[in-house]
Structures are given as C-alpha cells and as structure tokens.
Amino acid sequence: MDDLTRWRSKQYNGPLLLAEHDSERAVSVLVSIDPLNPEPWLVSRVVQALKRGGVVVIPTDTVYAYACSLADRDAPRRLYQVKGIPAAKRLSILVPDIRTASRYTRDIPNPVFRTMRRVLPGPYTFIFQASGEVPRIMLRKRRTVGIRLPDCPITLGILAELGGPLLTSSVRAGDDEFVLDPVVIEEASDDELAMVVDGGRLLNEPSTVVDLSGDEPLVVREGKGDVSELSFLN
C-alpha cells in the first residue's frame, strides 16, 4: 500500500469536530472558489465555518493546507487531531500582514523585516523564536514558530475577512508527498472537516523554509520561494 492509499484509508477515532452546533456532526463540503477573483460570498462562507470552530482545507500559493482560526483556543488541538499528528509536529501561522507576524515572534531583526516586506506575500515560511502569544500546545517540544503570508487571493481574502491569523499544516500523503487535488482531499476527509475549498489542482511546490531562530539564518528547505531574493542570507 503506497502513502496516498494509506492516507485515503486512514480512520480518525478522536472526538468529532463541530462545524455548526455542538449537537451536530461536522459535514465536509467541497466549495469551489475562483483562484484569481474569489467570490466574496463564498469567502464569507469559509470564514463562518472557521468562526464556528471548524477545520477547513484551503489552497495557498504552494500546496493545500488544513486551517483553523487561531482565535479559537481549541484550534491547535483540533488541527493536530484532524491531521493525525502529535503535538510535537510543527504547525505554521498564516498572517494577514507582517505587523501581525510580530505578535507571534520574539524579535524580527531589521534586515529580515525589510526583506519580508519585499518578498511577502510569497512562498516562504520564516521560523522565529515564539512569543507568549503562541498557543502552549505548539511549544511542547520547541520554542519556535513558522510564519507564512502566502500570495494566494483565496487565502488573503479569508485572512482579511476573518480579521486574524490562521493555524495551518500542509495536507500530505507521506513525508515528501503532498495531496494536491481538493476532490481527493474531500473524499478522504471522513467528515472530520467542516469544508474543503477547491481552488484548483496545485503543483508540488512547497514553500521555502528559512530558520531565523538561531544566531545565523539557515535554509531548511529550498522550495518555490527564490532563495536569492533573501538578502539577509548574503
């Protein structure tokens, strides 16, 4: 059995996620949104699911990701549960702007801040020392946090209407394989998702990850983002 088949057959045995009311089971719904000109009423529908505590799947400028509202204190637990991973695994915070990013980091050096202003929104994940605003469950095995500001109209529309950050983790079939077809994601969801946003089939292009939590910047993964654009590495 390959990784994708194993992922599709996975069963979730934890508590059910509640998207509508506490007495109702979450029902996964596939919602198609124009990837270039997102329909506002459909974006609002996604935001309402997030505000009700649901976990949704959204497209980004790289791959599809599980997402929930960071304003919900139970959000990290739900996301770990849906993805079926332990709390030791890293989650990322999607922010609507760099100013919001500074709330969740202990320090953004000026050269890094200037570069972020130039390359974001874009396909980069920046890892920083976490501030006290980051949920404790995410800091059990580390004191760092990944920050993303993706160049994706759907995601940016959701962030703007939600008025706050999203907690996210990529949809994977294995360590090095991403699930890029929203129809496949919805079919395999087993009703644990409130919604799957169809923004089209994506390419296998994960974000470039740069660790800025230590004394020197470290490129953890070269992905879609052009490393040569990161002037603080030179």
Which of residues 21 and 149 earns the better pLDDT score? Answer: 149
Can you say how many angstroms the Cα of residue 154 is from the centroid of all Cα atoms in its chain? 13
Q: What b-and-e string marks burial along 50-79, b requiring 16 or more CB atoms within 10 Å of the CB?
A: bebbbbbbbbbbbbbbbbbbbebeebbbbb
The larger pLDDT score, comparing residue 12 to residue 231, is at 231
Written in H, E and C, the secondary structure of 75-89 is: HHHHHHHHHCCCCCC
Q: What is the mean pLDDT of the chain?
A: 87
Residue 174 has pLDDT above 90, yes or no: no
d(CA 49, CA 68): 9
Across residues 176-187, what is the average pLDDT?
Answer: 91
- Domains annotated for the chain, with CATH where assigned, are 3-233 (3.90.870.10)
Q: Which amino acid is at 199?
A: G
pLDDT cut 90: percent of the chain above it = 69
Mean pLDDT of all residues in 71-83: 88
Q: What is the pTM of this model?
A: 0.87
Give residue 2's pLDDT: 52
In this predicted model, what pLDDT tens digit does every residue of 79-137 receive, in sequence order?
A: 989 888 887 788 999 999 999 999 999 989 999 999 999 999 999 999 999 999 998 88
pLDDT of residue 27: 58
